[in-house]
Structure formats: structure tokens, C-alpha cells
Amino acid sequence: MEDEMFDQIVAVFHSLVTWVAAGAMVFGGLVPYIPQYRDIRRTQNAEGFSTYVCLVLLVANILRILFRFGRYFETLLLWQSIIMIFTMLIMLNLCTNVRTATELSTKRRSFIDFDWSSFWLWSRFLDYMQCVLSFTLMASYATYLFLDSMLFVETLGFLAVFTEAMLGTPQLYCNYQNKSTEGMSIKMVLMWTSGDTFKTGYFLLTQAPVQFWTCGLLQVFVDFTILFQVYYYSRFPQKPVSHTASHTTSAKAL
């Protein structure tokens, strides 16, 4: 009787841990953007958030969803991508509205102008949606044509996770150029470092496709390298280098 009760407790505990881990995987990626969203709403200032973060994450997660048609992976990871896409669209909508309201220039930049100099700097959220939908349609068509090619499918999966893994490199390079981590939120760095570490461990434990955990390890390496920069530049201050405010802002929306 005691053994049966113990087995039931273990089973319930296992189910609870599984649900918590699943929730963390699905919703954990959007948590760092909640304070950023609230801060932009409160200050009506979007300069502290790089919309190129949205671009990278939209591309990465759209490619990841298409990768699933050629190589099955856990449904939780699919939902994670879907939720992240909606999160980035919400952030884009807010940033576009705030920037348009505070912009002094009356010139309107549009996606259909096909002006490379104004790429991803458009004046309306509709233009961003047109770009995202165009990319999705083209990538979907290419996936449909080459779905039988294992080389294409594996490359697609690699591009999806590699793009996301490289999200922290602009901040890494920016810190190196400035010889300082001033203006970067250490709290947020620790937040997404722990998230990336958990995510990579989850990939390894669930035997996700090799692209997921190898690029996850790369992402964790970039995160810890930035944390090392925090330590190094605080311990050994370098000669200040003049830089613009936009460059001191984290490419991960810190």
C-alpha cells in the first residue's frame, strides 16, 4: 500500500515538473520582453529597443516552423515559435506607433518603395506585416519545392536555430568596440543567459534535432562571453570611446 502511494506521489511530481518545464519552454522566451514593453508604454520612447531583434527572431522562428514539415520535433517547440512570432509582432506594433508619434520628419517610408536604405525602418506596422508575409510565402514556396531534399531540410533547420543563436553577437561586438558594457542591463543579460542554458539542456534531454542543441550551446557561449565582458571591463576599465546611444543599447532589447 505504501509502495503504491509512493509511486503515485512520484508520478504526480513527475507530471508537475514536466508541465512546469513545458510552460517555461513555451513562454520563457517572451518574459524578457514584458518589462521592455511596459517601459516603452510608460515612457513613450522606443529608442532603447532595437527592432532588428524582432527581425532576427521573426526570421528564425518562421524558418523553424517550416523545418518541422521536413523534420519532426516536439510540439512544444512549435508553440514556442508561434508565441515568439506574435510577441515580436506586438513589440513591432508598439515601437512603430511610438516612433511615428515622436518622429519629427513627415517623410513616410514604405515597404513597397523597396528602398534598401529604409529597410526595417518603415513608418507603419502594416509595412512590417507585408515584409513578414512576403518572406513567409517565399520561404514556404521554397520549402514546398525542396521538401524531399534532405540537404535542404537540414540546412533550413540549421539556419533557423543559427540565426537565433547569433542574436547576441551585435551586443558582443558593440561592447568590444566601446571597451565598455555601459548602458547594458546586466539583470537582463543574466535573465536570458539562464533561459538559454535551460533551453539548451531541454534540447539535450529531449534529444531534439542536432541543429537545436549545437546552436543552443553556441548561444550560451555568446551569453557567457558577454558576461565575461561585464567582469573584464569593470575590473580593467578601458579608455572611453565616444559612441551613440543606439550603440550602447543591447541588441537583445536589454
Predicted confidence at residue 7, as pLDDT, reads 66
Same domain, 144 and 172: no
SS in 3 state form for the chain? CHHHHHHHHHHHHHHHHHHHHHHHHHHHHHCCHHHHHHHHHHHCCCCCCCHHHHHHHHHHHHHHHHHHHHCCCCHHHHHHHHHHHHHHHHHHHHHHHHHHHHCCCCCCCCHHHCCHHHCCCCCCHHHHHHHHHHHHHHHHHHHHHHCCCHHHHHHHHHHHHHHHHHHHHHHHHHHHHHCCCCCCCHHHHHHHHHHHHHHHHHHHHCCCCHHHHHHHHHHHHHHHHHHHHHHHHHHCCCCCCCCCHHHHCCCCCC
Angle between helices 125-146 and 75-102 (to 10 degrees): 150
- Answer yes or no: do 57 and 122 share one domain: yes
Instruction: Please indicate, yes or no, whether residues 123 and 51 belong to a single structural domain of this protein.
Output: yes
pLDDT tens figures, 150-188:
999 988 988 888 888 877 776 777 778 777 776 566 766
* 98 part of a folded domain: yes
Q: Is the pLDDT at 246 greater than 50, yes or no?
A: no
Number of domains in the chain: 2
pTM of the model: 0.74
Q: Are 102 and 45 in contact (CB under 8 A)?
A: yes
**Residue 65 belongs to what domain range?**
32-102+115-149
Mean pLDDT of the chain: 80
Residue 232 included in any domain: yes
**pLDDT average, residue stretch 237-250:** 49
212 found inside a domain = yes
pLDDT in tens, 56-113: 889 999 999 999 998 887 788 888 899 999 999 999 999 999 888 877 666 788 888 8
| Comparison of pLDDT for 82 and 234, the residue scoring more | 82
Q: What is the pLDDT of residue 141?
A: 96
Residues 186-224 pLDDT 10s: 766 787 788 788 878 877 887 777 777 888 888 889 888
Model confidence band, residue 242 (pLDDT cutoffs 50, 70, 90): very low
